[in-house]
Amino acid sequence: MRVLITGANGQLGGALQRTAPAWADINAIDVDDCDLTDVPMLRARLVVEAPELIINAAAYTAVDKAETDEALARAINAEAVAAMVAAMAETGGKVVHVSTDYVFDGTAASPYPPDAARNPQSAYGRTKAEGEDALRPEDLLVRTAWVYEAGGANFVRTMIRLMKEREELGVVADQIGSPTWATGLARTIWGLAERQASGTFHHSDDGAASWHEFAVAIAEEAQALGLLPRIPVIRPITTAEYPTPARRPAFSLLDSSATRAFLGDAPVPWRENLRLMLKEEAKLG
């Protein structure tokens, strides 16, 4: 099957390429290969290339910057998705689109199921919701949250760097979610695609943590692997103590039970996957 992966140089794009099944004939592109903001060019290229499956791992993810650059975020997160869908409607292909917990308002008391009402509170969340709305019933939407991967730009690697530099740091303790390893997310996407799934699915690693609890686990696991010489003081702080331009969901847990039932596999605890990622990080040097 001819598969086009967008966002090839990102965390998920790289993981999708590394975990690709034998049936996937992959063409992976990034911004240097195709400008997603040039909708006519994008659509024309897709019609000519006519992939049977597009996995859209590209996104504008600068959450705070999107508050003052919503037009560009919309161009990448929504208008480009609509162009992909239009092209696939013309050639008979399918779109797999990856979205985010930011389409929810973060006020829930239990994990968000795939059919939960959306209420984005940021420009990033709004544009991602608009991208979701461009999909057809036969397309596949996969929402995720708190994604990290070895070698990528993410919370895990940022924390390790800061922990090496500082004796003490404060980390937000009143935002709850589930850290998600991009490799596991990629495997789920391939599994759903192979089974010709359509509609909306959620994927995140099992369990819950605050950013502070995640940071503490990163420190402990990184030190055990020799990635961190010492563990600094990691102080819990509130969201109010660390104001940002964009409003973050206070509660980001996604209900992935339907995904696991569909694929017939078991959820993996987030700390277990964190350990695997850090082992890969250690190998990278």
DSSP result, 49-107: H--SEEEE------TTGGGT-HHHHHIIIIIHHHHHHHHHHHHT-EEEEEEEGGGS-S-
pLDDT band at 285 (very low <50, low <70, confident <90, very high): confident
Question: Which member of 60, 102, 112, 124 is catalytic?
Answer: 124
Provide the pLDDT for residue 111: 98
Residue 168 resides in a domain: no
**What's the domain count of the chain?**
1
Residue at 55 is within a domain? yes
Active site residue 124: yes
Question: Which domain CATH number covers 142?
Answer: 3.40.50.720
* For range 156-166, the mean pLDDT: 97
**97 belongs to a structural domain:** yes
Does the pTM surpass 0.85? The reply is yes
Instruction: Decide if 158 is inside a domain.
Output: no
Q: pLDDT, tens digit, for every residue of 95-148?
A: 999 999 999 999 999 999 999 999 999 999 999 999 999 999 999 999 999 999
Q: Is residue 273 part of a domain?
A: no
Q: How far is CA 182 from the centre of its chain?
A: 7
- The span from the CA of 181 to the CA of 100, in Å, is 14
Residue 209 maps to a domain = no
**Residue 137 belongs to some domain of the structure:** yes
| Domain presence at residue 96 | yes
- Residue listed under structure tokens 């086009």: 4
pLDDT in tens, 15-43: 999 999 999 999 999 988 889 999 999 99
Q: 198: domain range?
A: 2-148+179-204+252-267
